Amino acid sequence: MLSLTKKSDAQPVAAPLWHTNFRNFDRLPDTKVVRTTFFINTAALVVALGMMLWLGQREYTNYNLKEQKAEAQRQIDANKKQDAEALRLTAQFQAEEKKLNEAIAFIKVPITPAEFVSQLADSQPKDISIDFVSTTVSDPKTNVFQIRGRVAGSPDTASGIASSYVDTLRADPKLSKVFDPIVLNRLDRSTGGAFMLFDISLTVKPEKK
Q: How many domains does the chain have?
A: 2
Give the pLDDT score at 199. 92
Q: Identify the domain boundary among 73, 108, 143.
A: 108
- Pair (122, 41) in one structural domain: no
Coil, helix or strand at residue 201 = strand
- Three-state secondary-structure class, residue 35: coil
Residue that is last in its domain, among 53, 80, 108: 108
Biggest CA pair distance of the chain: 181
Question: Across all residues in the chain, what is the average pLDDT?
Answer: 78
Convert the pLDDT of each residue in 23-40 to its tens digit: 666 666 655 555 667 677
Domain that holds residue 146: 113-204
Each residue's pLDDT tens digit, 43-69 = 888 888 888 888 888 888 888 888 888
Could you read off the pLDDT of 173-192 as tens digits, one per residue?
888 888 888 899 988 887 77
Give a yes or no: residue 160 inside a domain. yes
Q: Of 108, 132, 165, which one is at a domain's C-terminal end?
A: 108
What are the φ/ψ torsions at residue 131 (nearest 5 degrees)? -105, -25
Residue 161: phi and psi, rounded to 5, are -65, -45
Query: With the CA atoms of 41, 47, 53 and 55 taken in that order, what torsion angle do they form, in degrees rounded to the nearest 10?
Result: -120
User: Is the pLDDT higher at 144 or at 33?
Assistant: 144
Share of the chain above pLDDT 90, in %: 1
- What phi, psi does 31 have (nearest 5°)? -100, 15
